[in-house]
Amino acid sequence: MEAKRMAVIGAGQMGHGIAQVFAQGGYRVSLMDKYPEALEKAKSRISEGLARLVQKGRVTEEEARSCAGRVSYTGDMNEALQGIDVMVEAVPELPELKKEVFRDADKAAPAGAVLASNTSNIRISDMAEQTSRPERVVGMHFFNPAPVMKLVEVIPNPRTEPSVVEYAADVCRKLGKTPVKVLKDSPGFIVNRINAADMLFFSLVVDAGVATPAEVDAYAKGQGMPMGPFELLDFVGIDVAHDSLQYFSKAISPEYGKAKSIARLYGEKRLGKKTGGGFYEWVEGRARIEQAAPTDKVTLMDVFAIEINEAVKLIEEGVALPGDIDTAVTLGMNRPFGPISVARSFTSSEIASRLNELSARFGCAVFAPAASIAGGKLREAIEDRKAEPKAEPKAEPAAQAKAGPVAVERLGGGVARIVLDRPRRNTINAEALDALDRAITELWDDRETAVVLVGGRGDTFSAGAELSQFFSNSVDFMEFSRKGQRVFRRLSELPKLTVAVMKGYALGGGLELAMSCDLRLCADETQIGLPEVTLGLVPGWSGTQRAVKLLGAARASELILAGRRMTAARAYEIGLVHAVFPPRDIEEAAVGYAKELASTVAPVSVMLAKRLINKAAEGGSDAGLEMEAASLGVLYGTEDLKEGIAAFLGKRAPRFRGR
């Protein structure tokens, strides 16, 4: 059944945002609040939100008007729930209040409607049990601000029908959100469970006099974080942190009740930004943070260990799968990487000893290592696996089901195609490099194939290396460069004619991939470039060496040193690409071109001629590659790299300091 009508109960910070998201998704939505002034405020917030979108050119005025017209406002629950398909409750985080809302909603909503809660922490079963339809009750946990944040955690209660979970996830996808299915109804679900341990830790650091909030925040900012943890606590609200920790202290362990600084501020009604003071004083919307030297008593490693520990507990308890935890943390906490990706760089004993030290130092069992970590089985615990069939009864739609990050397709007529198929504009990570390497091996001795097209799924080639991967030290970072170099060199040596099909973005590692092919076809409007120097990096997958060989030092400098994007026309002019096509024609043109080549060139001649060309282009290249990788090793430790990546992820201009 296709959802058409929605209701949101509670028109506050979250409720108005969720209603706006529904309206933008084309649904009719009634927004209900007990207080008329809350409805008034929600109405103006929604129209301000839509006006901002118009200003940014994201929607037209006409679209904004019709979007606003899809929201109706009411103070009456019966009216709000008439004829709806889905309700999302977003009243304050008070268990008794939420239960009452669910009792009323159950009476007022059509029998088939799905009743969802946007609770941050409370078990969904608490609400479901109040209704006559627990099988149609789920959690749909949006993040703040709802119109911006992509993540929605979808949570079943033990009696939820699997098809209802799928239905809710589907609604999220239609809203352009990324649903992460939580497998078990557990307090705080994924993101807030991990976040609660962080909050507890930072409070204990201050409680024990280990460091001041300003010292901790100075350290965090030095690590490239846009906001320190205490500034963030004030920003989100001390009451929100306090309520969560109190709930956890009852629902999971009394140890969560040990955060004294947070409890004290809460008792003093110093709730952070909203009351003008919390850990800091807030003036004109900004925290007044005194100058402080970054602490050396708290390290990122402490936070990593705590988050990895919580992630492993979630896996052990069957709350979530490793891959989903990373998706939820990156999207929900605005992080460049999640705890699972970080955990891959450490051993069980490294994490266990750090956790043992923290739990002893702060006398807090929340930090004691999870069973798998204590038992030396961290690696096994975080291994990615699929959900149990019973937890995932319905197959994902075909578009979601992916064979892997790189596909090999046989197109007939002596042509094969290697297709990069990755999220975020086909960005390339270590897994994609491995898959590309396998694809090269698969085609190496394939006598049926003479020409190999190399392209990207969808409307883009590749926007480059994934910048959200975690590397624990400069050696790993350097090895990641060498790995890319190795795979791209194998591609350049593949005894077939290789043709890159560039479209959308061919940036950084994406352009290095294209440059590792023999020929390059390009769609008009493709954004081409090696922007590494604007991020505090250098091209690391042989781009520095290949660009010079292909274009000469002067033109390579235009690409590498200026770091600017280049048009397809300019790339054609300097000989970087061999032909330019309109975007809608490129795929067909490329296949036609490849088939024609496959029928006209002699495979063995191509194989040998290619080796000769490669030979001719050689000269000091190994030393250059070694230096390229070593440069990345050096850059790993620079502040400019952290700043470059933080600015990129935060969508702001970097402030490089030359160190």
DSSP H/E element including 349: helix 348-362
Quick check: 329 binds ligand NAD (CB under 6 A)? no
End-to-end CA distance of the chain: 58
Nearest distance in Å: CB 12, ligand NAD:
2
Among residues 29 and 451, whose Cβ is nearest to ligand NAD? 29
Side chain identity at residue 74, one-letter code: T
Quick check: 165 binds ligand NAD (CB under 6 A)? no
Beta bridge partners of 554: none
* Interaction residues for ligand NAD, span 57-96 (CB under 6 A): 90-93
Side chain identity at residue 245, one-letter code: L
Is there a catalytic annotation at residue 512?
yes
Cβ 592 vs Cβ 446: under 8 Å:
no
The catalytic residue among 166, 255, 512, 628 is 512
Which of 3, 101, 128, 606 contacts ligand NAD by CB under 6 A? 101
Which range of residues in 118-126, 205-213, 279-287, 377-385 is near ligand NAD by CB under 6 A?
Answer: 118-126
Looking only at the bridges linking them, the beta strands covering 86-89 and 71-74 are: unpaired
The catalytic residue among 307, 532, 558, 628 is 532
Nearest distance in Å: CB 117, ligand NAD:
7
- Count residues contacting ligand NAD (CB under 6 A)? 23
Which of 13, 472, 534, 638 contacts ligand NAD by CB under 6 A? 13
Instruction: Return the residue nearest ligand NAD (CB atom).
Output: 12
Cβ 477 vs Cβ 633: under 8 Å:
yes
Nearest distance in Å: CB 201, ligand NAD:
20
Which of 118, 160, 426, 485 contacts ligand NAD by CB under 6 A? 118
Among residues 12 and 583, whose Cβ is nearest to ligand NAD? 12
Which of 6, 9, 182, 530 contacts ligand NAD by CB under 6 A? 9
Round to whole Å and give the CA distance between 104 and 383. 44
Quick check: 543 binds ligand NAD (CB under 6 A)? no
Among residues 248 and 477, whose Cβ is nearest to ligand NAD? 248
* Interaction residues for ligand NAD, span 594-653 (CB under 6 A): none
Quick check: 33 binds ligand NAD (CB under 6 A)? yes
* Main-chain dihedrals φ then ψ at residue 156, nearest 5 degrees: -85, 155
Count Cβ atoms below 10 Å from residue 487 Cβ, excluding itself.
24
Quick check: 35 binds ligand NAD (CB under 6 A)? yes
The tokens for 356 are 């043992």
Quick check: 34 binds ligand NAD (CB under 6 A)? yes
Nearest distance in Å: CB 26, ligand NAD:
23
- Cβ neighbours of residue 286 under 8 Å, at least 6 residues apart? none
Quick check: 15 binds ligand NAD (CB under 6 A)? yes
Cβ 87 vs Cβ 131: under 8 Å:
no
Among residues 32 and 591, whose Cβ is nearest to ligand NAD? 32
- Cβ neighbours of residue 54 under 8 Å, at least 6 residues apart? 60, 61, 64
Nearest distance in Å: CB 258, ligand NAD:
22
Cβ 292 vs Cβ 212: under 8 Å:
yes
Which of 3, 8, 10, 358 contacts ligand NAD by CB under 6 A? 10
The tokens for 206 are 């201050």
DSSP string computed for 510-566: HHHHHHTSSEEEEETT-EEE-GGGGGT----SSHHHHHHHHH-HHHHHHHHTT---B
* Main-chain dihedrals φ then ψ at residue 347, nearest 5 degrees: -95, 165
Which range of residues in 32-40, 167-175, 311-319, 539-547 is near ligand NAD by CB under 6 A?
Answer: 32-40
Which is nearest to 237 in space by CA: 274, 281, 276, 288? 274
Among residues 42 and 547, whose Cβ is nearest to ligand NAD? 42
- Cβ neighbours of residue 600 under 8 Å, at least 6 residues apart? none
Among residues 148 and 608, whose Cβ is nearest to ligand NAD? 148
Quick check: 139 binds ligand NAD (CB under 6 A)? no
SS in 3 state form for 554-600?
HHHHHHHCCCCCECHHHHHHCCCCCEEECHHHHHHHHHHHHHHHHHH
Quick check: 245 binds ligand NAD (CB under 6 A)? no
Nearest distance in Å: CB 424, ligand NAD:
24
Which of 72, 74, 82, 144 contacts ligand NAD by CB under 6 A? 144
Among residues 166 and 239, whose Cβ is nearest to ligand NAD? 239
Which of 119, 426, 427, 469 contacts ligand NAD by CB under 6 A? 119
Q: Where are the beta strands (DSSP E) in 143-275?
A: 151-156, 178-181
Which letter, b or e, does each residue of 125-152 get, where b requires 16 or more Cβ atoms within 10 Å of its Cβ?
bbbbebbebbbbbbbbbbbeebbebbbb
Round to whole Å and give the CA distance between 13 and 130. 25
Helix pair angle (621-636, 639-649), 10° resolution: 80
Quick check: 11 binds ligand NAD (CB under 6 A)? yes
Among residues 32 and 197, whose Cβ is nearest to ligand NAD? 32
* Interaction residues for ligand NAD, span 555-574 (CB under 6 A): none
Looking only at the bridges linking them, the beta strands covering 415-420 and 406-412 are: antiparallel
Looking only at the bridges linking them, the beta strands covering 497-502 and 519-523 are: parallel
Nearest distance in Å: CB 594, ligand NAD:
50
Among residues 32 and 513, whose Cβ is nearest to ligand NAD? 32
Quick check: 14 binds ligand NAD (CB under 6 A)? yes
Cβ 307 vs Cβ 337: under 8 Å:
no
Cβ 354 vs Cβ 369: under 8 Å:
no
Which range of residues in 116-124, 267-275, 444-452, 559-567 is near ligand NAD by CB under 6 A?
Answer: 116-124
Cβ 440 vs Cβ 490: under 8 Å:
yes
Nearest distance in Å: CB 7, ligand NAD:
11
User: Where would I find the H helices in 375-458?
Assistant: 378-382, 423-426, 430-444
Nearest distance in Å: CB 619, ligand NAD:
58
Put the strands of the sheet holding 579-581 in their side by side order. Answer: 406-412, 415-420, 451-456, 497-502, 519-523, 579-581
Is there a catalytic annotation at residue 37?
no
Quick check: 328 binds ligand NAD (CB under 6 A)? no
Among residues 41 and 565, whose Cβ is nearest to ligand NAD? 41
Quick check: 147 binds ligand NAD (CB under 6 A)? no
Among residues 240 and 435, whose Cβ is nearest to ligand NAD? 240
Nearest distance in Å: CB 385, ligand NAD:
28
Quick check: 437 binds ligand NAD (CB under 6 A)? no
Among residues 144 and 275, whose Cβ is nearest to ligand NAD? 144
The tokens for 462 are 């590749």
Residues involved in catalysis: 512, 532
Binding residues vs ligand NAD (CB under 6 A): 9-15, 32-35, 38, 90-93, 97, 101, 118-120, 143-144
